[in-house]
Structure 1
């Protein structure tokens, strides 16, 4: 009988310890994420998260204060939208689009940008080839990706993202001689890219519709 009582007390004590550890949240836990299908990234995949904090809450360092009202409108129109996943995808798209342009890969650009942006890229690629120049560029790092503006017009949402990055930019001639840039020094670049998608579309991907340099 005494053995049973002792074991019961032990189980009770262990149960209290487990509750004290597992029954509390410390603020460092990751949000619960639903499984998503693994596939090749064609633009910017949306994250589908069970627990999403208010994306326009104060203290969010990746969103300009002027974009918060637009972001609330976007979340209202598309409750599945998640800021963190969007910015993660935006940075991936930034790298993929730049690398495709530098390599002159027009086919890759087809699925990443809209017709107007692709036409501008294709023209620049053609001029480069005609001059016999080859870009030997490398994206060293993306220092920051910040949402500058969000707008919802009817069923179309647009998000303006500012990218601050370091790029090693080198231009070579047909004989591989360096004619511009440096192979050892990275240049700070500041780009403003605009992405768009229909909030009613089943396709979760965002497409690049405009590029500009930051003021």
Structure 2
């Protein structure tokens, strides 16, 4: 949690919500943050022909991914419990969620953080924001790029799906005092950040909301 407190970025996805980017199929899965997520029935069902519901194929985890065999079992269990789950869409959406949460934290957008995080993570963010505001410090940072995002762990605990993603990102960070004077950092020098963020969702929930329920350093 300590590393993300000092990092910042400006992203174009602030107005979106976490449920709009995690774990659901879209018409444009190649986009990092898909624009539309309304569910549409497959052609066979629209034609009135009932088809058995089949869990989507799982995107194979890379051998370099952390504990790949165990993670694949966890992902398959989640997909079996929730046939609408799609790993590729989840990973791509997790990148957008990473951007959104950082944006909200760095811009002190408490309302958005409340929607995207569970109680414990939200409380941690609020404590950090209160301390920052009490000191009069501000952040002027940039997320240069997300170099990589891969599955760090995946499990289905009862009906609760939990997937941790390791993000490797280049971030340029600047901290200023209450008068705007530079305290630390430079926008010209990006630093590699490695963060493991865990997202969770009850697979029986009516709404497809995933929330950020844990953050750690990679």
Same fold judged by TM-score > 0.5? Answer: yes
Higher relative contact order (CA 8 A, sep 6+): 2
Q: TM bucket by the smaller chain?
A: 0.7 to 0.9
- Unpaired segments of 5 or more residues in structure 2? 1-14, 27-41, 43-53
Q: 1:92 aligns with which of 74, 91, 96?
A: 96
Q: From the superposition, tell whether residues 142 and 108 of structure 1 become closer, same or farther in structure 2 (CA, over 3 Å).
A: same
Q: 1:54 aligns with which of 52, 57, 72?
A: 57
Give the aligned partner of residue 150 of structure 1: 154
**2:16 matches 1:41:** yes
Shift of 1:107: 1.1
Post-superposition, which runs of at least 4 consecutive aligned residues in structure 1 deviate over 4 A? 49-53, 58-64
- Aligned equivalents of 1:199, 1:107: Cα separation in 2: 25
**2:184 matches 1:183:** no
What is the SS of the residue equivalent to 1:171? Answer: strand
**TM-score normalised over the length of structure 1:** 0.75
- Aligned equivalents of 2:203, 2:81: Cα separation in 1: 7
- Unpaired segments of 5 or more residues in structure 1? 1-39
RMSD: 2.2
**TM-score normalised over the length of structure 2:** 0.74
What is the SS of the residue equivalent to 1:54? Answer: coil
Structure of larger gyration radius:
1
- Number of matched residues? 175
Q: Is the 8 A contact 1:142 1:166 kept in 2?
A: yes
Q: Is the 8 A contact 1:142 1:163 kept in 2?
A: yes
